[in-house]
Structure 1
Amino acid sequence: MKIEGKVVIMCRIIACVLSLFLMLISCTEKIERVSKYPDLLNEAVDTIAYSQFVDSIKYIPLETTDACLIGNITDVEISEEHIFVLDLQMQTVWIFSRDGKYQGHVFHKGDAPGEYVNMCQFEYDESNRQIVILDLWTHSLLFYTLEGKYLKSIGLEISAFDFKILPSGGYVISLAGADNKEAGIYYLDASGKVVSQLVGRNQEHLIYMNSDWDLCSIKNEICFMAPNLDNEVYHFDGTELDTIQSFCMKPEIKHSYKGNVSLEHMEDFVRTRYIESEKWLFAAYWCAVFDLRYFLYSKAADEYLIGKYLKNDLDGVQCSGKTSMTKENTFLFWCAPEEDRNPILQILYLKK
């Protein structure tokens, strides 16, 4: 009995050791999956081809009429019934049907009640059928009907460059590109009051860099990869902030940026674009010395691509700009049309 008892004890010890060993392996694998070290210089190929990450392409020409001539596409959102085009040059949100037919627009630039001074982003609240416009100058959100009728305004407790409406209520706003101590990503309640700072900015990285957007949406979560000199990917559902991926980009940052600096001779890479879909992540990096690098990461394959150029090798139509739209595992780019015509949307259905 004593021998049998010793055997049982030994077996339990061995089982505990094996269990601990497996836990350590699991933790190690998790760390390896989370932490990656892409080298924007030494791993970059000349060209990333569409066929490496795109399954198919769909085009939607945006109708040109006497009442609708887009100055420049800044961002796009597609709902179940409509296409919305943010045009900062014209300070307008253009509205089209899903097949690109012009339906109307929202333009209320001014300083009177119900008007915005400097539109910098927008959202379509599909559940309430409202267009929400962010006014950079007055730090407020203005709400309009699809017909352009003004409904209300909400003052924000902190200024913002970008925002997203949380399905669970409230807003996520970005001030990540500012060169001050308030720079970061914030969670605001429905009245515009700050609930919490989700991510602050490294005080050594206060270079001013205002992108067209910092935030993306995937289902019920707001996604971001910010601030501009950091490369962690976060998801926020209104309750939990999760770090999904951490990219330790090479080469490492050489300089500190505690205030206004000129970008003309900048040696370090700064992120200028971020787009995230269900299966893919896209980022663009730029520095004055080495110019541009594109970074594409497949979540499913856990692999990345780095290149100096993007090339459409599927049908040869090159894009002229990108948007933050990523519904149903797509990227939405746009192509410049002939003169005096509106752009053409290029929907990239991404590989799974």
Structure 2
Amino acid sequence: MCKHLFLISLAFSLFACGGKQTEQQSVAEVEPVEPEYPIAVPFEAGVGVEREMKLSDIADSVRYIPLETKDNCLIDFINSGTVVKTGKYWFVSSNTVLYQYTLDGKFIRTIGSRGGGPGQFNYFQQVDVNEDSGLVFMLTTSGKINVYNMETGKFLYDIKTPDRDPAQFAMLNDSLVATFMLNSSGQQKERIHISNPKCEILNTFYRSDLFEMKSGIRRLMMSGIDRYMFHYDGKVCYKEFYCDTLFVVTNDELQPRYIIDLGKYSIPLDCRMEVCDGDWKTYATVAAPYIRNQVIETDSLLFMPYNYWAGERTRHMVLYDKKAKECFSIPGGYIKNDFPGALPLRPATSLDKNLLLSVWEVEEIMKEAEKNPAVLDHPQLKKLTEDDNPVLMLVYLK
């Protein structure tokens, strides 16, 4: 009997030790591994690899926000790539009107107005905000940034920019500005200026891809979906179509974050629209094989909507899985939406690490409803009329 008791006691002792080991393993924390940048993204390989995907594969939920339609806020179009969201407001714009809405889509006010007086503008390119200071910054086409109070819409002051016609900008803080210049003349050496409120240039980042234009005429190719400078995860980022690298912008340097390997789809210098110098027939021929892509970053994926340079209207999209380190194409250029509402996803921008935005004109929603009447059964979409303002589609990723 003593022998049996000894065996039972020994077994209990071993079991207790095993339990302690298991407990220690369960509370052990694995330190997240910070990726080493820059990361090479195999875009070229992904173009030829199609993969079916449903929105529920990557998202938890979808929300639709119809922007309130009144006589004083009739929106002709939205620059979807530059929509801004804060903890309380939406800021959406055309090139001539900046609209401020609540998060549930109630109209508050327009900010600024057209004209030549203080706080006025002819056109503007982009807006940025600082929630901590409650400021709204508007890059105008007259070489200055108008600054407004976020809560009242009141004009406060303006900041001059070193270059008279920057294409886009981002605020590094309340006083330091990063402005991006397109090379529309072929000889624009300066790519990005870092400047202060006194218009003093603190740093300049240069480009080397210069060229001659026989006519001397400046030519631009821009659209409302373009994102040259934007914020992501507390960083200011920069990516232009003629450069395959996405950079983080600081006061002191451009830090390469992603190198998008376009391979054979990267447009050569002599095939650019500006280099063709207005010869659209030649441009349409020589630029046709090459790709113009956006890069929209989230916590787990890079979304890269693209089309071909020479006016091709078909929409395409490549995704990069950060964990698997691979690229693949989405058939048709849209991710099928299996949530209620059913509008497919082609993101315009990311609003934070796990939130995507797509902007839908009501006309486009009605076309989708012709193919799938269930679209208009959604509570947030069923009351839409053809004259209503656009709808914001928010996709909350897993």
TM-score tier by shorter-chain length is: 0.7 to 0.9
1:196 aligns with 2:203: yes
Alignment match, 2:83: 76
Alignment match, 1:184: 191
Mapped partners of 1:117, 1:153: distance in 2: 15
Question: Are the counterparts in 2 of residues 40 and 293 from structure 1 also a CA contact under 8 Å?
Answer: no
Instruction: Check 1:46–1:220 CA distance in 2 against 1; reply closer, same or farther (3 A cut).
Output: closer
1:140 aligns with 2:187: no
Which of 257, 264, 271 pairs up with 2:284?
264
Alignment match, 1:209: 221
Alpha-carbon distance, 1:253 to partner: 4.0
What SS does the aligned partner of 2:230 have?
A: strand
- Between the two proteins, the alignment pairs up a number of residues equal to 318
Question: Are the counterparts in 1 of residues 41 and 327 from structure 2 also a CA contact under 8 Å?
Answer: no
Question: Are the counterparts in 1 of residues 46 and 327 from structure 2 also a CA contact under 8 Å?
Answer: no
Instruction: Check 1:299–1:112 CA distance in 2 against 1; reply closer, same or farther (3 A cut).
Output: same
Mapped partners of 2:293, 2:316: distance in 1: 10
- Counterpart of 1:114, as a letter, is G
Mapped partners of 2:263, 2:126: distance in 1: 31
Instruction: Check 1:41–1:209 CA distance in 2 against 1; reply closer, same or farther (3 A cut).
Output: farther
Mapped partners of 1:219, 1:280: distance in 2: 14
Alpha-carbon distance, 1:134 to partner: 0.9
Alpha-carbon distance, 1:82 to partner: 0.9
Alignment match, 2:394: 347
What is the CA deviation profile of residues 241-285 of structure 1, one whole-angstrom value per residue up to 9, with x for unaligned ones?
321121221324464246335353322424253323343322333
Question: Are the counterparts in 2 of residues 176 and 185 from structure 1 also a CA contact under 8 Å?
Answer: no
- Counterpart of 2:284, as a letter, is E
Greater alpha carbon shift after TM alignment, 115-124 vs 324-333: 324-333
Mapped partners of 1:167, 1:279: distance in 2: 27
Alpha-carbon distance, 1:142 to partner: 0.8
- Counterpart of 1:161, as a letter, is A
What SS does the aligned partner of 1:67 have?
A: helix
Q: Report the structure, 1 or 2, having the larger strand content.
A: 1
Alpha-carbon distance, 1:190 to partner: 3.7
Structure with higher Rg: it is: 2
Instruction: Check 1:317–1:295 CA distance in 2 against 1; reply closer, same or farther (3 A cut).
Output: same
Instruction: Check 1:162–1:334 CA distance in 2 against 1; reply closer, same or farther (3 A cut).
Output: same
Instruction: Check 1:53–1:268 CA distance in 2 against 1; reply closer, same or farther (3 A cut).
Output: farther
Alpha-carbon distance, 1:217 to partner: 0.7
Alignment match, 1:326: 351
What SS does the aligned partner of 2:72 have?
A: coil
Mapped partners of 1:34, 1:321: distance in 2: 24
1:225 aligns with 2:248: no
Alpha-carbon distance, 1:343 to partner: 1.5
Alignment match, 2:336: 312
Mapped partners of 1:303, 1:56: distance in 2: 25
Q: TM-score of the superposition, structure 2-length normalised?
A: 0.70
Greater alpha carbon shift after TM alignment, 113-122 vs 168-177: 168-177
Alignment match, 2:6: none
Mapped partners of 2:284, 2:343: distance in 1: 28
What SS does the aligned partner of 1:267 have?
A: coil
Mapped partners of 1:42, 1:306: distance in 2: 6
Identity %: 19
Question: Are the counterparts in 1 of residues 160 and 197 from structure 2 also a CA contact under 8 Å?
Answer: no
Q: TM-score of the superposition, structure 1-length normalised?
A: 0.78
What SS does the aligned partner of 1:230 have?
A: coil
Aligned-CA RMSD value = 3.1
Mapped partners of 1:242, 1:328: distance in 2: 19
Mapped partners of 2:181, 2:293: distance in 1: 14
Question: Are the counterparts in 1 of residues 186 and 211 from structure 2 also a CA contact under 8 Å?
Answer: no
Alignment match, 2:68: 63
Alpha-carbon distance, 1:168 to partner: 7.6
